[in-house]
Chains A and B, each alone.
Chain A
Amino acid sequence: MMKLRYIALLAIALPYAGNAGISLVSTIDNKPLAIPGAMFDTPAAKEFMSSGKNPYLGNADAIKTGKKIFQMYSCTACHGAKGEGAVGPNLIDDKWNYAKNANDQGIFETIWGGTAGGMGAKGAGFMVPDDPTQGLTPDEVLKVVAFLRSNAVKH
């Protein structure tokens, strides 16, 4: 069912996506996320945009940088130092408020565009709508996800 919906949205999202490949939708309302294609400016971000896979998973340098970014943007305030949860949800167990967060594309969408459950958008141009210089780049989001996945606790 989920897959079908993504395919249906592909046509609408293409103009924003730039490169052919995956199309990203908001976790809040399932509408396309308008991210300029030019923002996918690193090999990893380009690879993600074409395959929906996060090439940084398991990459020690990316994980280290991802931890810094996770702290820099005070993600730790709600989700704890490792993503274990504090006053916001646990991000390293196998329970998700949004099932799609279990896959690379889904968790990217949730971080980029935010949720209806209280987490604000973190993507550049979304975090502070009138100041696109603030917020994470796609490459940074992928590194944050690599950090979180490296902390995942198996149940």
Chain B
Amino acid sequence: MKTTTLKLALASVLGLSSLSSLAATELENLMKDDNQWAHPRKDYANTGYSRLSQINKGNVRNLKMAWSFATGVNRGHEGAPLVINDVMYVHTAFPNNVYALDLNDNQKIIWSYFPKQDPSVQALLCCDNVNRGLGYGDGKIFLQQNDGTLVALDAKSGAKLWDVKVVDTKTGASNTNAPHVIKDKVITGCSGGEYGVRCYISAYNIKDGSLAWRAYSTGPDSETLIGDGFNKDNPHYSALSVYEDVNGGNKEGGSFKALSKDQMKFPEKELGTRTWLKPQAIKNGYEHGGGPTWGWYSFDPTLNLMYYGTGNPGTWNPDVRPGDNKWSMTIFARDVDTGMARWGYQMTPHDEWDYDGMNEIVLWEAKGKKLATHFDRNGFGYTFDRTNGTLLVAEKMNPFVNWATKVDLKSGVPVKDPKFSTHQDYNAKGICPSALGVKDEQPSAFSPKTGMFYVPLNHVCMTYEPVESKYIAGQPWVGATLTMFAGPDGVMGGFMAWDGLKGKSAWYNKEKFSAWGGALVTSSDIVFYGTLDRWFKAVDAQTGKELWKFQVGSGVVGNAITYSHKGKQYVGVLSGIGGWAGVAMNLGLTNETDGLGAAGGYKELTKWNAAPGGGAMNVFSL
């Protein structure tokens, strides 16, 4: 404990140093410059929005491929390259190679970096060998390798400046997230919700790789960095329990009735341990409680708060972890200098479906209010007052969501439908959405011009059967079997525009497969995204009407970006099918009987893609 306090104190001192703030200013200027794409989602607010407008509705039909770059690596290429001062930095799926391409010299390779990683780490990556990209700050390119190593490379030469081990693969932990530079720190996460890893989020000082702070998702307040003033304006978010057991709760036939705000007991402390009631599958459930943090992190410089979501509690069998299982499935707002939590809201208390809450939080303003919007795997679209976490909107993103009838805005608690409660050795059927969520990691985009969110979607339901499973360090600890199938629309995906104030979609397009690529929106009101059947598309931000499309070499699970070079606007996207939707295909699972991933509509992916999917960066211009 003493060391933590000391590190926290040290962190605040470093935060004041002029050198660090210079670096922070440089990054902030790059984010404001639309010629660049210097941050995973372009800016601190995670908007995926660019003011570039040379490509407009009148000429977008003339977009042609300008150049492409094959990465030499197969399987899922999630995330997107960075573009900084006429250099594009491209990452790959495992083994996470990095290439710096000179945009001033026909994309000639300036430097490359080939990490040496133990191939056995690939077995830990649940959902394909993905890596979601790079971070930039202080003249350094940051790479979070799958094996848990965070590396700082000199952006000019590619020379390794420092590295640090973020997670220990011996415990079953790994990494897939993009490191995000925020001010003088680089923030990185943890994967391993299916291995009983007790996950955390970490902030390292970009200068030397020293740990500034680390906040666990579960456990004592001292380790989840929860202190005085936490949830001050919404103390009911810190309730000991938000449900009462019906028919015995955690057993076949049992379910959970939402308490009203008046019935709840709050505020309480130490909920990261006390909401893991006895008996757990293991002695102290929170010690292997999951709560992975592999998403996209946003930041509000005026509040000095960063925002991220924590994932599913371990194991997937809910019966052996009674209680609300805090702070899994939670949106946290933390002071970026100290890591201390300002507010935390649990979206899916006592998860029964693996609705991993790690999706991005997008920051925006409307009617003079500072807002945050999040599209959760559980199928609800949430809008918060980001200053204090007050829940303003929580609406179903699609009517097929059935595990809950609604979210009670007063209490913040989802009202669960007992029909879809899951219990050990009972195969619950027809649950929508599936564990893939109505949306998975593929990030949405927000246009301040239209005031709309542009959201790539899954349309998949599931059966879910919790089973008994044993925790062994470093071994999978899943505790449920599931099968997935196309939702009621008969397709597996969609793409929509969403009004974050009304909690309603403005337009909705069906997609044959899950739309597993992240969205880009520009000030010329064009939305770009890629699909698993190899299309890279431009659609009208107002209507969703398709304006242009081009077929790339492999399905797209990467995020669309735009930048300009020598006065010309380019749009680009990584191709290379994979991720959860494509992993079965990459492994050659194509039989009728094959399970998750290849089942139902996903089996058809082999009609559109060679396996395993080859990685490439595709760049287009007029």
Contact = CB atoms under 8 A, between A and B. Distances in A.
A81 B462 CA distance: 13
Interface in B468-496: 468-470, 472-483
Given A86-B595, A88-B587, A90-B589, A78 B472 contact: no
A80 interface: yes
A116 to B, nearest CB: 8
A87 B583 contact: yes
A85 to B, nearest CB: 4
A84 B194 CA distance: 19
Given A87-B583, A87-B584, A89-B587, A80 B475 contact: no
Contact of B481 (A68, A71, A72, A73): A71
Contacts of A81: 465, 481-483, 595
Nearest to A87: B583
Given A71-B468, A90-B591, A80 B476 contact: no
B475 A127 contact: yes
B123 A84 contact: no
Interface string A69-99: 0011110111111101111111011000000
Contacts of A79: 595
A119 interface: yes
Q: Is the interface of B mostly helix, strand, loop or mixed?
A: loop
Contacts of A51: none
Nearest to B583: A87
Nearest to B479: A74
B148 interface: no
Contacts of B120: 118, 120
Contacts of A118: 120, 122-123
B594 interface: yes
A103 interface: no
A59 interface: no
A73 B194 CA distance: 12
B596 A119 contact: no
A86 B597 contact: yes
B194 A77 contact: yes
B445 interface: no
A27 to B, nearest CB: 14
Interface in B550-584: 583-584
Contacts of A90: 589, 591, 593-594
B30 interface: no
- Pick from B127, B472, B595 the residue with the most CB of A within 10 Å: B595
A119 B469 contact: no
Nearest to B466: A71
A85 B470 contact: no
B201 interface: no
A71 B467 contact: yes
A4 interface: no
A155 to B, nearest CB: 8
Nearest to B315: A74
Interface residues of B, number: 36
B611 interface: no
Contacts of A82: 595
A74 B476 CA distance: 6
A50 interface: no
Given A86-B597, A87-B597, A118-B123, A77 B476 contact: yes
B83 interface: no
Contacts of A86: 584, 589, 594-597
Contacts of B596: 80, 86-87
Contacts of B123: 118-120
Interface string B437-472: 000000000000000000000000000010111101
A153 interface: yes
- Pick from B481, B583, B588 the residue with the most CB of A within 10 Å: B481
A84 B477 contact: no
B598 interface: yes
Contacts of A80: 481, 594-596
Given A86-B584, A92-B593, A128 B472 contact: yes
A112 B598 CA distance: 27
A78 B475 CA distance: 12
B259 interface: no
A88 B594 CA distance: 10
B474 A128 contact: yes
Contact of A77 (B472, B478, B588, B591): B478
B353 to A, nearest CB: 16
Contacts of B597: 86-87
A139 to B, nearest CB: 17
B126 interface: yes
Contacts of B584: 85-87
A120 B591 CA distance: 25
Nearest to B120: A118
Interface string B113-129: 00000001011001110
Contacts of A85: 584, 587, 589, 591, 593-595, 598
A30 interface: no
A74 B473 CA distance: 12
A153 to B, nearest CB: 5
A84 B122 contact: no
A20 B562 CA distance: 68
Contacts of B127: 87
A42 interface: no
Given A80-B481, A85-B589, A73 B594 contact: no
- Pick from A77, A88, A118, A153 the residue with the most CB of B within 10 Å: A77
A78 B596 CA distance: 9
Interface in A23-64: none
A74 B475 contact: yes
B595 A84 contact: yes
A68 B589 contact: no
Top 10 A-B residue pairs of the complex, sorted by shortest distance between their CB atoms: A80-B595, A81-B481, A118-B123, A74-B476, A71-B467, A77-B478, A86-B596, A77-B476, A86-B595, A74-B478
Given A76-B480, A84-B593, A93-B593, 8 more contacts: A71-B469, A72-B469, A72-B470, A74-B479, A82-B595, A84-B595, A87-B128, A118-B123
29 contacts: A71-B469, A73-B470, A73-B472, A73-B475, A73-B476, A74-B469, A74-B475, A74-B476, A76-B480, A76-B481, A77-B126, A77-B476, A81-B465, A84-B591, A85-B584, A85-B594, A86-B584, A87-B584, A87-B596, A90-B594, A118-B120, A118-B123, A120-B123, A120-B474, A120-B475, A128-B473, A128-B475, A134-B472, A153-B591
